[in-house]
Amino acid sequence: MPLPPLTIRLLGPADLPAYKALRDIGLRHDPEAFTTDFNAGSALPAAAYATRLGQPPEDHFILGAFDPAGAMLGAVVCERESRLKKRHEAALVGMIIAPEVRSHGIGKALLAAFDQLVRQLPGLEQVVLSVTASNARAVALYEHAGFVRYGLLPRAIKIDGRYHDKALMVKVL
């Protein structure tokens, strides 16, 4: 089933409740993908994510993917290093796609828009991320977008006594 056309744009303060709702779904549906647990994350107010909104988006931003009716289907977060020696680096954190619309190209579209935006940020030279190593679809999505694996963090998170490794990836711009 083809997905209707998407609108991908920077989120503003008015979008934070929709972002938080999507993030809560991600925390519940894919606990191994996040370092925050559902109980802690869902207890936060939407305003807690305001620090991820940069105006202009030089240090932090969230891109959202919306359907024609305005429903948020996916989001990706960029957090740039503030320390002078690390200003050349940003981290892609918190990529979330609503479970019911996965495998429809939303992640690919968000990553393409993310790439366009980070390439416009003065002095930014690379983007890093970590992804659950056992999530082959997510790893492949990031590889398709130009990220390469440079390491593995074993036992990165622990859920109900079970460890999950994180693949460490980088994209040089």
The CATH number given to whatever domain includes residue 121 is: 3.40.630.30
pLDDT at 94: 86
Cβ atoms of 157 and 164 closer than 8 Å: yes
Q: What is the pTM of this model?
A: 0.92
In a domain, 90, yes or no: yes
pLDDT at 82: 86
In a domain, 46, yes or no: yes
In a domain, 1, yes or no: no
Task: Decide: helix, strand or coil at residue 144.
Answer: helix
CA quadruple 20, 24, 27, 33: dihedral positive or negative? Answer: negative
In a domain, 95, yes or no: yes
pLDDT at 53: 84
What confidence tens digit (pLDDT) does each residue in 127-162 have? 999 999 999 999 999 999 999 999 999 999 999 999
Residues 71, 72, 77: CA angle, nearest 5 degrees: 165
Judge residue 168's burial from the number of C-beta atoms within 10 Å of its C-beta, 0-12 exposed, 13-18 middle, 19 or more buried: middle
pLDDT at 56: 66
Question: What domain range is 54 assigned to?
Answer: 7-172
In a domain, 2, yes or no: no
What confidence tens digit (pLDDT) does each residue in 50-68 have? 888 876 667 899 999 999 9
Average pLDDT on 24-42 reads 92
In a domain, 131, yes or no: yes
| pLDDT category of residue 85 using cuts at 50, 70 and 90 | very high
**Could you give the CA distance from residue 139 to residue 134 in angstroms, rounded to a whole number?**
8
pLDDT at 45: 86
Indicate the number of domains in the chain. 1
